[in-house]
């Protein structure tokens, strides 16, 4: 498990935005992963996707690393942000935009506004 923790830690620290998910950003393999990847993709965020289905040690390791039981998991600048429900709420409230702004993450503000308009 140490190797998995090291790999996870290096990935989280080496990338501004990381999504541990089932599947990939272009082909999510569960609805929750699809929702978060869809938000990030629509907003034009450059992020690293990690398919936990490819490696059982990473799949379990990320849960231990964050002390969070579910996947997907989003990290921004090394900080665990949350899973699907939290990211959805943060997107709709504008809190995710703020987090991107604070951390210098480039995203499409108009796309973020369109998500909120569509869900108002």
Q: Is residue 84 part of an annotated ligand binding site?
A: no
Give residue 51's Cα distance to chain centre: 12
Q: Which residues are annotated as a binding site for [2Fe-2S] cluster?
A: 30
- Which residue numbers belong to the known binding site? 30
């Amino acid at each position: 498990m140490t190797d998995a923790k090291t790999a996870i830690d290096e990935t989280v620290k080496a990338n501004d935005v990381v999504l541990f998910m089932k599947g990939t950003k272009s082909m999510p393999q569960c609805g929750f992963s699809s929702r978060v990847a869809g938000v990030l993709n629509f907003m034009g965020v450059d992020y690293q996707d990690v398919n936990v289905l490819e490696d059982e040690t990473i799949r379990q390791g990320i849960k231990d690393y964050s002390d969070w039981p579910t996947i997907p998991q989003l990290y921004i600048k090394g900080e665990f942000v949350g899973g699907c429900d939290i990211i959805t709420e943060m997107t709709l409230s504008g809190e995710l935009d703020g987090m991107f702004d604070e951390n210098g993450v480039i995203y499409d503000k108009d796309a973020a506004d369109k998500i909120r308009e569509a869900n108002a």
